[in-house]
């Protein structure tokens, strides 16, 4: 099959993105986008708008198991940014994609990438306005995203806002992704249904973005859990002032304990030390909790209450049968030993 050159690759991507603006700037290095988003228009009317920038790089060898197809990797590169935005209540507005493509990639592989970008663009309503292409030794995708929010700067939840007395919540279950990675990489045994769900959580993650979009205004702090639950909790505990996070219940698949027992591994390890879950973990003042639950119910959003914030020294503790056990700070960190 004929190898595509850079110009042909760019034209192929543009043909998949279905954005009239891109047709107008073919061959140009600059994109000027009109403010045509309804959320922006409403924010301008009320004089309340913050523009937020986000960049996230995906490297094939560290971020994509070999089982993932090019379209799945491309989709993941966009949803990773969207998930970070959603955890802060920030709506994605547009993005630029820079991509390093290995010489071995065929036209079919590149079409597959374009299809993945296009799918994510439609799923999360985030137009792709352009980007850059280059040759690289492995697939590298850098997604640069612009987001907008009508929340004032001091109302956008950061990582350092947790206070003693706050409750800790999350948007979904933990354990599927860590199990999926172990099934893929270590060929562990699993029942058919649980295996399929676990692998799908790795290859086709589904961030619950409405959780953040709708509820972030109630959060005192928040984070996306893509580096693992323990790592995310420690980020909130250490960035906030003199607090400990006490976890007493983690939502998990009912089959997780059986999978752990079948393979002689710890259920708690699967819950705390996974990664790539793309769930939102947040703290909420007790005074906001009932209002948040009412809002969640109105929009059919599940909220899982998993613990509380106490005065402390930046630790994360797991309460089980009345005993507090220190959780290790262990998650995925680039360049870690």
User: How many structural domains compose the chain?
Assistant: 2
pLDDT digits (tens, 9 = 90+) for 51-102: 888 989 999 998 999 999 999 999 999 999 999 999 999 999 999 999 999 9
pLDDT at 39 over 70: no
pLDDT at 334 over 90: no
Better-scored residue on pLDDT, 43 or 240: 240
Instruction: Classify strands 316-320 and 243-247 as parallel, antiparallel or unpaired.
Output: parallel
pLDDT digits (tens, 9 = 90+) for 198-232: 999 999 999 999 999 999 999 999 999 998 999 99
pLDDT at 123 over 70: yes
pLDDT for 152:
83
Q: Are 162 and 148 part of one and the same domain? A: no
Average pLDDT over residues 280-287: 98
Longest dimension (CA), the chain: 65
pLDDT for 42:
53
Query: Looking at the domain assignment, is residue 179 inside a domain?
Result: yes
The answer to whether the beta carbons of residues 246 and 317 sit under 8 Å apart is yes
Domain range for 200 is: 157-326
The answer to whether the beta carbons of residues 110 and 9 sit under 8 Å apart is yes
Task: Report residue 20's pLDDT band, with 50, 70 and 90 as the boundaries.
Answer: low
Q: State the Cα–Cα distance between residues 15 and 312, nearest whole angstrom.
A: 55
Q: Are 75 and 170 part of one and the same domain? A: no
Q: State the Cα–Cα distance between residues 14 and 259, nearest whole angstrom.
A: 44
Task: Report residue 14's pLDDT band, with 50, 70 and 90 as the boundaries.
Answer: low
Q: What is the DSSP letter of 315?
A: -
Q: Are 92 and 221 part of one and the same domain? A: no
pLDDT for 199:
97
Q: Are 274 and 289 part of one and the same domain? A: yes
The domain that holds 89 is classified in CATH as 3.30.1330.10
Q: Are 168 and 121 part of one and the same domain? A: no
The domain that holds 273 is classified in CATH as 3.90.650.10
pLDDT for 153:
82
The answer to whether the beta carbons of residues 319 and 185 sit under 8 Å apart is no
Tokens coding 292: 């948040």
Neighbour-count burial of 88, counting CB atoms closer than 10 A to its CB (0-12 exposed, 13-18 middle, 19+ buried):
buried
pLDDT for 7:
60
Q: State the Cα–Cα distance between residues 16 and 99, nearest whole angstrom.
A: 15
pLDDT at 251 over 90: yes
Q: Are 142 and 164 part of one and the same domain? A: no
pTM: 0.86
Tokens coding 295: 């809002």
Q: At 260, which helix (H) or strand (E)?
A: helix 256-262
Q: Are 298 and 176 part of one and the same domain? A: yes
Q: State the Cα–Cα distance between residues 287 and 284, nearest whole angstrom.
A: 8
Query: Looking at the domain assignment, is residue 112 inside a domain?
Result: yes
Q: What is the DSSP letter of 89?
A: T
Q: What is the DSSP letter of 319?
A: E
pLDDT for 18:
63
Q: Are 287 and 206 part of one and the same domain? A: yes
pLDDT at 336 over 90: no
pLDDT at 244 over 60: yes
Q: Which residue has the tokens 């060929």?
A: 187
């Amino acid at each position: 099959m004929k190898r595509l050159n850079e110009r042909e690759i760019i034209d192929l991507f543009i043909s998949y993105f279905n954005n009239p603006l891109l047709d107008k700037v073919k061959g140009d290095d600059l994109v000027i986008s009109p403010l045509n988003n309804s959320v922006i228009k409403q924010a301008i009317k009320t004089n309340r708008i913050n523009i937020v920038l986000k960049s996230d790089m995906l490297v094939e060898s560290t971020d994509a198991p070999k089982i993932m197809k090019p379209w799945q990797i491309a989709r993941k590169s966009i949803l990773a940014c969207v998930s970070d935005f959603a955890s802060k209540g920030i709506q994605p507005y547009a993005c630029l994609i820079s991509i390093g493509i290995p010489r071995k990639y065929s036209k079919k592989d590149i079409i597959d990438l374009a299809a993945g970008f296009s799918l994510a663009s439609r799923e999360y309503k985030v137009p792709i306005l352009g980007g850059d292409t280059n040759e690289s030794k492995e697939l590298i995708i850098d997604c640069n995203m612009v987001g907008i929010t009508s929340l004032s700067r001091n109302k956008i939840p950061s990582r350092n806002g947790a206070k003693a007395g706050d409750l800790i919540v999350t948007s979904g279950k933990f354990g599927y992704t860590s199990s999926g990675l172990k099934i893929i990489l270590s060929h562990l045994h699993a029942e058919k249904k649980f295996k399929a769900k676990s692998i799908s959580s790795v290859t086709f993650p589904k961030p619950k973005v409405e959780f953040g979009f709708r509820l972030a205004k109630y959060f005192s702090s928040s984070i996306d859990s893509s580096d693992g639950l323990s790592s995310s909790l420690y980020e909130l505990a250490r960035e906030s002032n003199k607090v400990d996070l006490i976890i007493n219940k983690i939502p998990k698949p009912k089959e997780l304990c059986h999978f752990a027992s079948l393979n002689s591994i710890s259920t708690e390890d699967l819950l705390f030390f996974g990664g790539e879950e793309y769930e939102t973990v947040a703290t909420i003042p007790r005074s906001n909790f009932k209002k948040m639950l009412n809002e969640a119910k109105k929009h059919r959003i599940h909220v899982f209450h998993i613990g509380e914030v106490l005065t402390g020294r930046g630790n994360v503790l797991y309460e089980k049968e009345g005993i507090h056990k220190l959780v290790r700070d262990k998650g995925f960190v680039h360049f870690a030993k």
